[in-house]
Chains A and B, each alone.
Chain A
Amino acid sequence: MVYRTFNLKKMKKIIAFFAIVVFLTNCKKSELQLDDPNSPTPTGSLASVKGVEQFALGIWSKLYVGNNLLVHAMNMHSFMGDEQWCSAGNWGWRYVNQVDKITLPAPYNKVIPGVLVIDQPTQLKALNNLSATNGSQTNALIYEWNLAYFVNGQANFLLQAIENPAITIPATEKATLQAWAYWWKGFAYSRIGSMYVAGVINDKTDGSTDSQYKTRQQMITEANANFDKAIALLTPIAAADAVYNSTMNAIIPAFNKPTPNVAITPQMWIRGCNTYKARNILVNKKVGELTAGDLTTIKTLATAGLIQGDITFLLGISAVAAEGISPNNQQHILLWNSHANNPGWMYPSERWAQDFKPGDQRFVKGVSTLPLAEVNRQARGYQFGGRYFFTAIQNGGYWSTNARTGFANFAGSWEENALMLAEVEIRNNNIDAGLLFVDRVRTANGAGLAATVGTGLNQAQALEELRRERRIALTLRGLAFYDARRWGVTTKASAGGGRANANVVVPNAEIGATPAGSWTLLPCFIDYNYWDYWDVPVHEYSYNSPGAGSPAIAN
């Protein structure tokens, strides 16, 4: 039989061969320890000073999560403050820019309701749902919130990392890094307290949060407390401290510094904190609500605030798209509005343009005229029309860039500080003392305007000079909406708000003028009717229900 004739030797060989193959392909449990070779681990990376520094630098990376969140926040403020307009619905831009009614002047006296009929608060509330948040990305409310809390989360982690007993950080560097974390927390809470009806204070690093929401006033108090911690840490550090300087160079990327290797000194930084604290008071009260005490506090803070020549934290553009937080031709407030590169996205507002005084060189240099005016762009409302675009920095302008150069001021400036001092003085009826600051800013900007000091302006006229100057000197610095809110411009007309004599490009078809298809610039009344403070976004309260005792989290 076949079985018997089988060669046993051969069989052994074959079995041996199979055994070897099986052995060779055999795996041991230890081989399963395959850890992610690409990404640093918390324990591994934060066990060195360099790692902690890179983590501190990483706060900037948190500004960009899917989009540049800081730029998104600044753009929204710009639209709502009517510096720029944007008819695109992306990220909810057209909806924050959705004015309620435009009333044409006599003889027309026509009321033009918003295209979407409902007002901005109703619209924003409607879009504050998970579907618009995750899918269509039209929930405008999420970006500033995300910005603040992503930054805050990283700052919390940084504070923990600095205390890691496994590493020894030189005392000055430790103080600098801690101040850095507290500054960003102060910044984050300032953004929340200045924009949302309520917020959350969270210092934890374990992925949990706090269901006890805080009022916006409590958020500002917390923001200022964090700025104070930063000031306390920075106060003992000398201006030329080498450790401080090297730390600052490690945590501020080159593309965010106008001059290489020139650092913000501890004193400049402290002054910047004071300016921000002053802003937090000023922009969170309606002008009529400012008390004498407020004015005194603002003056005290601003007097210790930024001075001409101070450097502040800036948002620049990395020359290489992949190296930074502006990875494409948008994602920066000055890049996005480039008429050459992104035509059709956003334009300077007629209402902003009309706030220039005649002869202002900043208008001459900073603004160009479109070959053909934009009229009721995308048929989304007459606020979406205008004659201008921003002249690029490359062509002598200020507020737009066609290339990857330029800086956005998001954390206060000496001009803002000076104009806060001006406001305090004017409100305290020290007219010329206040106008001096206005003139100083205009001179420094090369506006070429005649001095206002000594021209005998009354308080109202002086405040108008100040209002205009804040509009122009602080363009695209994230302050336009705060100002529109506190001056009552965005308040609904029935409550005394709105803007009269607001220039609007009105289609001739609306007023029966000729030629058809063309337009007429008319001084209209705009009833913006915007929310003062936003509801807490849906993705926060859906996964963090307000605990008992929380304040209202929605309008």
Chain B
Amino acid sequence: MKKLLQSLFILLFIASSAIAQNRTITGTVTAREDGLPLPGVSVKIKGSNGGGITGADGRYSIRVTSEATSLEFSFIGFLPQTKTIGSGNVINIVLVDDSKTLSDVVVTGVGVATQKKLVPIDVATLDAKDFPKSATTNVTQALQGQIAGAQIIQRSGQPGANAQIILRGFTNLSSASPLILIDGVQASSDLLTSIDPNTVDRVEVVKGSAGGMLYGAQGGNGVIQIFTKKGAKNSKLIIDVASRYSNDRIVRLNDLIATNHHWVTDAAGNIVASNGAILAPSAIGVWPNPTALPFGTDKTVQNNKPILLPVYDHIDQGNKVANTFTNSLTIRGGSEKTDYSFGASNLSQQDVYSNKYSRTNLNLNFGFNPVKGLNFRSATQLIYTKEDLLSSNRFNLVNSLQWIDFTFQNPTNGQYVVKPSTLTDGNNPLAEREARSRYSKTPRLVQNFNLNYKFPKFLEFDVKYALDTRRWEQGDFYFNQVGRAQTVFYGSVIEGSILKEYENSAVNYGNASAYFRTDFQNDFKLKVPIKTTTQVTYDARRFKSNYFYAQGVTLPAYPPFTLSSATTRTGGESFEESLIYGFLVNQTVEYGNLFGISAGFRSDYSSAFGGQGTAATFPRGTVFFNPSEFFTNKSFVSNWKLRAAYGEAGVQPGIYDRQVTFSRGNFGESGSTLYTRATANNPNLLIQKTTELEIGTDLNLTPLKGNWLSSVVLNGTYWSRKSNDVIQEAPAAPSSGATGVRDNLVSLKSSGFDISMDISAYKSKNLDWNFGFRLGKSKTEVTAVSNNVPITNGVFYLAPGGNLGDLYMQRPLTSIDQLRPNGTRYIPEASAAGYAVASNGYVVNLANYNVVLTGADDLAVAGNVNPDFTSSFINNFTLFKKLSIGVQFDWVQGGDVYNQTRQWMYRDRLHKDFDEPVTIAGQEGSFVAFYNSLYNTNTPLSHFIEDGSYLRLRDLSVTYDLTNVLKQKWLRTISVTATGRNLATWTKYKGLDPEATSALTNQGGTISGMGSFTGVDYYGAPNLKSFQFSLNIGF
């Protein structure tokens, strides 16, 4: 048999070389994207068996017979091309890469690089070239709207603010953050905001546990992997330079403040103070308190008097138009055995509210191929972040009397007035900038080494080691404020204080994998097209951090103001260390392109669970099937895949959450104190586990042959999850001595689907139109709370049968005969005449025009902060191959927002709603008592739930490619781009920005452990609307 095969092979070889060959055709194959030569491109003579591949320099040389008519060029990730053989002997080809095709390769969640055609799970990819042009500051901006089923919510417009990323639904109540990988190694979640988007080549997103399972105890929330740009072997030096300027201002969809008032006035309409004098500020700019008309006793008081004093727009006074500059340089190239890519960039971003954020990135990616099969790669990211932002409470920018001028400076000392009025809370935010300065500096190194050896057959070894280390330093200075016109001050004491903090942290990560592959056809000469891969991986992650602080309180009257000069000094430190390691075994069997199955498991050991010695094990299994393999005609359906995956993954408890310890207090010279914790730790805490099933299909259609609709790529996935042992603080009666104990209290169930569609809508010589659509829908339900007591915190509510993100509260009555839960009437029939339904539908007590609310014991779910779906529409047009226009709309439908800002403004009776007339029992007027009664002690009330749905013009960009206009030999590429981000928003929402919300109590405290991360508007920093200009030059 063997001999026979050998003879056949020899025969074939002789036969093919026996054919007459007339001439040799040579040429170079390059990529259109960067002009680099492409090695490994297959060159086939059409209609014959002859062919070859390009060398490391992208060159090929092929002998063709006189009968040969054309050459076919194909390469993974690029659109194949056919070129007619003419009279010349040189054919150079420029290949166009096409990530939309299934020949693309993904890595994340599948363990080994796998063609999309064969991937059994939902892996979304985004190439750097598809990043929206306005995504200049960080990678999360680039991902927004681009990945179906990934909610990426920029909850604050403050520079450097991390986005909230939710992949599909929720697996636990305290964090939705996915695992972040960079080039195969783990990194902390803020990497997405700290890495320079220019260094990113591609991003892969695995949304579910089925793929996340490869990452075990850390993969429960899904995985986002960043691949950095590499050089290419045998390529000449290329240089890219990009400069961007952005002009940013806050998104401000509505005015919030009333134009009229209801204060006591004199005959001329002037507001008067409590001594009867016309309201006027003191010499140092402090306003006396006006007196409100007695709306509490006089229901007819209306907010209808014009303010005769000059009024000021406080939001404008506190926010300016800011400038952002980004400059980057990339140098890439390679020789026969090496490749390199070096990048340097700087981001300098002014904050609209205060000061500046800047980031400098240096990166070097270096590959070395000393012997065949052996590859060494080093990727280095050096990131230096520095900022001196003040993020203080923006409450006063909204809740201040209209006539207060925050920019007024006391003429005697040129300083702002700290507390311009005692009637409203808080202080002038502009004055804080005089009293306080702070900064943080963070140098960070992310170093990644990878050694890979592929044996000629069967075996591949891969070892990665990474270090992510940073040194964070923060200083916070409150100046000595003695001598101000008022003694109101910022900080803990008027004499000022200094706080300095340092944290060194490092993540060491190691990963060793062995792959054993067989190809039945090639390796065993069997006629079945079976390929198998066995993956065995071991990885370990160790996190360590040391934190130190020193504080000095009471500074001297004269400089220098140092820690040493402070009267009292304190210090402290804390340490954290955690270790997780585990191994993974995964077996894949593929039968050609037709179908494949895989199964495996991962076992993890962690210092944070399992009594520090018991593994948590997560099984998985996947299957795919390509019915299109049976299609004889692929002219309409070029590829159709069905896939299903099942997997388990976990989310760990906090690293010391299972250790019972005391708290320690600091009483200075009196020593330390020891005391029991208010929330008790639990030694029996288990890891939170999620099991997920996803079923999906990937479909490539080529509907029409002409210019229109030449290609449609459709991906759809349905998924369903169950999460058990979800950790929540089980509340305890205070008489036990604690308020609660951490416990595996809750079970969740979620399901939904993701759809993404990419269409080549029109393609001609002078016009390309590509259209993309993304849709994600999910819902997370609470299936059990083990102690059966619903958990309420702020506006949020967790109860069996409810949904995550439910808003739970009192409601205004809408009918006079409305019943209590016990079936009795709220308003007894006999008193009904004393009530009326106002024009807005609320029941009002005619005695005082107060709105009647359901009882405090009659709360109900009145909304949900999680959207029904998130979607986006992405259009790209290219005209005459020079002018590109990109438009991205993000549409979020159905997420409610609790407008706490508005409720607080009802307290101060400053909201512009107070100008709006309402009709009560035939009387029309802007009745103060009516509106103010809805403030209702700041108790959550459905009146303040608003539809937070919005359609946002996320990105609009116009790029003009000047390369062919300038036609300089040294110039590889040059283009200019004008971009707008968040230019327009369509919403019914009444606040500043429906996207900039978070989960807070009505006092501004963070709510955690409720599975809600957005949905409360509490004086947040709105997103930015930006106009940008950029210049890209390549040499």
Residues of A within 8 A of B (CB): 2-3, 6, 10-11, 14-15, 17-18, 21-22, 24-27, 29, 31-42, 45-46, 51, 54-55, 57-62, 65-66, 89-90, 95, 112-117, 123, 125-132, 134-138, 142, 145-146, 149-150, 152-154, 156-157, 199-200, 202, 204-205, 207-210, 250, 252-255, 318-324, 327-329, 340-341, 343-344, 371-381, 402-404, 507-510, 514-519, 537, 539-544
Contacts and interface: CB of A to CB of B under 8 A. Distances in A.
B983 interface: no
Given A33-B607, A372-B273, A543-B733, 11 more contacts: A39-B664, A58-B675, A129-B856, A153-B736, A329-B492, A329-B493, A372-B274, A509-B293, A516-B272, A517-B291, A542-B731
Contact of A509 (B264, B581, B655): B264
Contact of A61 (B655, B661, B675, B796): B675
Contacts of B457: 3
Contacts of A341: 487-489, 494
B578 interface: yes
B613 A32 contact: yes
A38 B907 CA distance: 43
Nearest to B490: A329
B488 A57 contact: no
B939 A154 contact: no
A6 B272 contact: no
Contact of B809 (A51, A114, A131): A131
Nearest to B487: A340
Interface stretch (B160-168, B862-870, B999-1007): B999-1007
Contact of B374 (A14, A114, A154, A403): A14
A543 B737 contact: no
Contact of B666 (A113, A132, A323, A374): A323
A130 B908 CA distance: 25
Nearest to A256: B670
Contacts of B741: 207
B492 A117 contact: no
A378 B423 contact: yes
B451 A21 contact: yes
Among A24, A145, A207, A404, the one with the most B-chain Cβ atoms within 10 Å of its Cβ is: A207
B288 A149 contact: no
Contacts, number: 379
A61 B665 contact: yes
25 contacts: A14-B453, A22-B512, A32-B612, A41-B661, A54-B672, A55-B673, A57-B672, A65-B678, A131-B808, A136-B1002, A138-B937, A146-B739, A150-B678, A153-B738, A207-B736, A250-B671, A318-B667, A320-B570, A323-B668, A343-B422, A507-B264, A515-B266, A517-B263, A518-B276, A539-B731
A509 B264 CA distance: 8
Nearest to A41: B661
The residue among B288, B667, B731 with the most chain A CB atoms within 10 A of its own CB is B667
A385 to B, nearest CB: 9
B579 A32 contact: yes
Given A127-B856, A509-B294, A153 B676 contact: yes
B909 interface: yes
A171 B642 CA distance: 79
Interface in B708-759: 731-739, 741
B218 to A, nearest CB: 15
B905 to A, nearest CB: 13
A62 B677 CA distance: 9
B613 A39 contact: no
B794 interface: yes
B856 A132 contact: yes
Contact of A318 (B275, B613, B668, B845): B668
B577 A34 contact: yes
A37 B573 CA distance: 10
A368 B62 CA distance: 102
B487 A32 contact: no
A542 B322 CA distance: 51
B877 to A, nearest CB: 49
Contacts of A150: 678, 734, 737
A36 B659 contact: yes
A60 B734 contact: no
A254 B670 contact: yes
Contact of B670 (A57, A65, A126, A327): A57
Contact of B493 (A32, A199, A404): A404
A324 to B, nearest CB: 6
Contacts of A129: 792, 856-857, 859
B423 A517 contact: no
A165 B963 CA distance: 86
A341 B487 CA distance: 6
B986 interface: no
B570 A375 contact: no
B667 A255 contact: yes
A516 B264 contact: yes
Given A209-B733, A375-B291, A26 B540 contact: yes
B873 interface: no
A132 B856 CA distance: 9
B937 A127 contact: yes
Nearest to B1001: A135
Interface in B264-317: 264-266, 271-277, 288-297
A54 B671 contact: yes
A57 B289 CA distance: 45
A446 B369 CA distance: 93
B480 to A, nearest CB: 14
B660 A42 contact: yes
Contacts of A320: 551, 553, 568, 570, 668
B483 interface: no
B145 interface: no
A113 B374 CA distance: 87
Given A35-B659, A207-B738, A59 B463 contact: no
A27 B581 contact: yes
B1002 A135 contact: yes
Q: Ordered nearest first, which 3 A-B pairs have the shortest CB separation?
A: A153-B737, A515-B276, A135-B794
A363 B558 CA distance: 38
A21 B734 contact: no
B30 to A, nearest CB: 28
Interface string B236-255: 00000000000000000000
Contact of B423 (A45, A137, A377): A377
B488 A340 contact: yes
B821 interface: no
B299 to A, nearest CB: 11
Contact of B275 (A51, A58, A372, A403): A372
B663 interface: yes
Interface in B604-663: 605-607, 612-613, 655-656, 659-663
B289 A375 contact: yes
A381 B296 contact: yes
A254 B733 contact: no
Contact of A40 (B289, B296, B662, B859): B662
Nearest to A116: B937
Interface string B92-112: 000000000000000000000
B510 interface: yes
Interface in B447-477: 451, 453, 455-457, 461, 463, 465
A130 B1001 CA distance: 13
B803 interface: no
Contacts of B737: 149-150, 152-154, 156-157, 202, 205, 207
Contact of B939 (A18, A127, A324): A127
B856 A135 contact: no
B1003 A90 contact: yes
A57 B796 CA distance: 37
Nearest to A387: B274
Nearest to B267: A516
B551 A58 contact: no
A135 B667 contact: no
Nearest to A95: B937
B7 to A, nearest CB: 17
B656 A209 contact: no
